[in-house]
Amino acid sequence: MGGLILLTGSLASMWVAQQTQRFDADLRLIAPGHILLFGSVVSLLLAALVGVLLVLARHWRAGLQTRELLAGIAANSTDSIIVESLEGVVMSWNAEAERVFGYTAGEAVGSRVVDLLLPPERVHEDTELLACSANGRRVTPFDTMRRRRDGTLVDVSIAAVSIIGPDGRVSAVAKTIRDISHRKAAERALKVSHAHLEEQVNRSSGQLETVKRDLSNILDVLPSMIGYWDKNLVNRMANRAFWVEK
């Protein structure tokens, strides 16, 4: 009797195990090992994502600081700093550009540089500058003239650097424009002074030649012998009587 009960219990245990396996299969339960592996992969992915986010945050803060630094430099620069698209449209216009040229940033941004600053005879300068920058060629700083809002011209020196976009290509040009009107005025005054000095020297030389000729004529009519020797006993001047008697 006891053996029968034991056999019946064993059969019942086997049946329960079989039913449990079928139940697990029906529910499609994931094996514990798979769960552990999946959790590890998710943890690694989350750690990598957090790392990427931290790097991006650092780069964003660094970029923000750089932009703030550049904005501060542009705002306090004693030169006009103008950013121009390759199509010739103003993208940025600092405070010094407002002072020198008379247009506010709100008026300038979105307008074409040639319409704001270029005298008709100098339009080619901006066209060539943009073409050089777009092709990656260096723009040599040069002196020229630009037009103010009131129509007057101002002497300026222009330097330009290319701005590279995210795709590695030139997307815009940053110009540094320095007002050199005082320097040019001094150069013009120096040229006028030099020309005046040359005129005076030429006039004095002409007067000196006239005096020398008149003196020679006077000495030649004198009967006395008159001559002049320098410290090396070289004769520098003698009248006609001297040479006749000699």
Q: Are 122 and 52 within one domain?
A: no
Domain boundary among 158, 179, 200: 179
What does the alpha-carbon distance between residue 78 and residue 97 come to, in Å, rounded to a whole number? 9
In a domain, 161, yes or no: yes
- Where a domain ends, among 179, 204, 222? 179
d(CA 242, CA 228): 11
Asked if residue 8 is part of any domain, the answer here is no
Question: Does residue 106 form part of some domain?
Answer: yes
Contacts 24+ apart (CB under 8 A), 176-179: 176/77, 176/79, 176/80, 176/81, 177/79, 177/80, 177/81, 177/82, 177/97, 177/100, 177/146, 178/79, 178/80, 179/80, 179/100, 179/154, 179/155
CA-nearest of 94, 114, 112 to 104 is 94
Is 66 contained in some domain? yes
Residue 164 belongs to some domain of the structure = yes
Q: Could you list the pLDDT tens digit for every one of the 246 residues in the chain?
A: 444 333 344 444 554 445 555 544 454 445 555 555 555 555 555 555 555 555 555 544 544 444 554 555 555 577 899 999 999 999 999 999 999 999 999 999 999 999 999 999 999 999 999 999 888 888 888 999 999 999 999 999 999 988 888 888 888 999 999 999 888 887 777 777 777 777 776 776 666 777 677 677 776 666 767 776 777 878 777 777 766 655
149 and 208 share one domain: no
Check: pTM over 0.95? Answer yes or no: no
Residues 105 and 170 in one domain: yes
Q: Tell me if 11 is assigned to some domain.
A: no
Q: Are residues 160 and 216 in the same domain?
A: no
Do 86 and 172 lie in one domain? The reply is yes
Within-domain flag for 9: no
Q: Which domain holds residue 153?
A: 78-179
> Within a domain: residue 207?
yes
Residues 91 and 153 in one domain: yes
Residue 1's pLDDT is 47
Per the structure, the count of domains in the chain is 3
Residues 47 and 109 in one domain: no
Please tell me whether residues 112 and 202 are part of one structural domain.
no
* Residue 83 near residue 173, CB atoms below 8 Å: yes
Q: Which of 76, 91, 115 is the last residue of a domain?
A: 76
Do 192 and 230 fall into the same domain?
Answer: yes
Same domain, 149 and 70: no
**Same-domain check for residues 97 and 169:** yes
